[in-house]
Amino acid sequence: MTCLPRARARRGRCLALAAVVAATLMAGLLPRPAVGQEDAAAARALVPDMTGAPLAVFPAGALYVVGQERFAVGLVDMQTGPIEGQQVELLFFTLAGNQGTLTETLPAPFLPYGLAEDHGADHEDAGTGSEITGVYVARPTFDAPGAWGVVARVTLPDGTRRAGQADFTVAADTDVPGPGEPAIASETLVAATPAEAAAICTADPVDAMHALSLDDALQNGKPTVVLFATPALCSSRTCGPSLEAVQELQRRYGEAANFIHVEIFPERDFAKPAAAMAEWNLPSEPWLFLIDGEGDVVERYEGGIGLTELEPAVKQLVA
């Protein structure tokens, strides 16, 4: 095991770009990025050949628990914008006092949001825009609750290294249903026509995933793909792209599985979320769950998702 100094918390500058990035990933739920030279102790210890200022690392989720988890991050150079489509490894470490202990180093491919199916080297304009269009994803195993950290190690095409870090918290458990646990049979709003769907769905145009209530879907023997999202009112700005990806999957696999969109704010009122949000104990948005024909959760995804990441899992779900 490798021990390293813990970074000191500090509010970053470049607030305008940071605000855009935070809104794009998980507004109001992200830690501050470590952008100052003095804040990158762990990154400099684990990536001694890093060049340039530390990158801002934005974990794209609000919930991590003990066990194997999907861990997604957006990476941003606070001067030039998002770093996308590059070779990235995520280094995870536990924190105790001012010391950290390295637990895992994992490759983290870049996975675009929404319908995009090209990623990695196929992104010719990777990192040149101001909007985050996807995330780097790994599946670490957290063996204990408490304070954790992650260092993102980026290897650019010319061989130079960039790095950044962030802290986060791992909980002992959660009431959000996870793999192997029964899905919650929530009664969700249904619509038989586009006009009826428009009354309960903020997507424009409305999608075709409101014909079946979730509780009924869990009883018909088919696997289920259920997305909790609010395209018009999404604080993270990733609900729309996530919905587009699920709509395409419905076109491809709709005969083999139930596809349900639970609109988070069917009355377009932030004070009146859908009852299913509380029943599923969801702390953020969007969320997507894959559920087998027996009604048990197979996988859960928090935050923005895309076709590249989802289709292999849905293929396996309906096989």
Give the CATH number, domain containing residue 205.
Answer: 3.40.30.10
Whole-number Cα distances in Å, 5 to 42, 91, 148, 274, 309: 6, 14, 13, 44, 34
Look at residue 39 in the predicted model and tell me its pLDDT. Answer: 64
Considering the domain architecture, whether residues 159 and 31 belong to the same structural domain is answered as yes
Considering the domain architecture, whether residues 220 and 309 belong to the same structural domain is answered as yes
Is the residue at 37 inside a domain? yes
The listed range with the strongest mean pLDDT (11-20, 32-41, 96-105, 286-295) is 286-295
At 122-161, the pLDDT tens digits run 333 444 456 789 999 999 999 999 999 999 999 999 999 9
Considering the domain architecture, whether residues 154 and 198 belong to the same structural domain is answered as no
SS (H, E, C) the chain: CCEEECCCCCCCCCHHHHHHHHHHHHCCCCCCCCCCHHHCHHHHHHCCCECCCCEEEEECCCCCECEECCEEEEEEECCCEECCCCEEEEEEEEEECCEEEEEEEEECCEEECECCCCCHHHCCCCCCCCCCCEEEEECCEECCCEEEEEEEEEECCCCCEEEEEEEEEEECCCCCCCCCCECCCCCCCCCCCHHHHHCCCCCCCCCCCCCCCHHHHCCCCCCEEEEEECCCCCCCCCHHHHHHHHHHHHHHHCCCCEEEEEECCCCCCCCCCCHHHHHCCCCCCCEEEEECCCCEEEEEEECCCEHHHHHHHHHHHHC
Average pLDDT (239-246) is 96
Considering the domain architecture, whether residues 146 and 273 belong to the same structural domain is answered as no
Tell me the residue range of the domain where 155 lies: 3-170
Considering the domain architecture, whether residues 208 and 157 belong to the same structural domain is answered as no
- Of 138, 170, 202, which residue constitutes the final position of a domain? 170
Is the residue at 179 inside a domain? no
Considering the domain architecture, whether residues 137 and 220 belong to the same structural domain is answered as no
Look at residue 8 in the predicted model and tell me its pLDDT. Answer: 35
Indicate if the pLDDT at residue 163 is higher than 90. Answer: yes
Considering the domain architecture, whether residues 19 and 155 belong to the same structural domain is answered as yes
Is the residue at 159 inside a domain? yes
- Of 111, 136, 170, which residue constitutes the final position of a domain? 170
- Of 137, 170, 203, which residue constitutes the final position of a domain? 170
* Structural contact between residues 145 and 170, judged by C-beta atoms closer than 8 angstroms: yes
At 79-89, the pLDDT tens digits run 999 999 999 99
* pTM given for the model: 0.86
Is the residue at 143 inside a domain? yes
Considering the domain architecture, whether residues 151 and 215 belong to the same structural domain is answered as no
Considering the domain architecture, whether residues 255 and 301 belong to the same structural domain is answered as yes
Query: Rounded mean pLDDT of the chain?
Result: 87
Indicate if the pLDDT at residue 34 is higher than 90. Answer: no
Considering the domain architecture, whether residues 239 and 312 belong to the same structural domain is answered as yes
Look at residue 237 in the predicted model and tell me its pLDDT. Answer: 85
Considering the domain architecture, whether residues 22 and 135 belong to the same structural domain is answered as yes
Least confident residue range of 62-66, 120-124, 265-269:
120-124
Considering the domain architecture, whether residues 158 and 247 belong to the same structural domain is answered as no
Confidence bin at 119 (pLDDT 50/70/90): very low
Overall number of domains in the chain: 2
Is the residue at 307 inside a domain? yes
Closest CA to 69 of 123, 116, 22, 137: 137
Is the residue at 186 inside a domain? no
Indicate if the pLDDT at residue 275 is higher than 90. Answer: yes
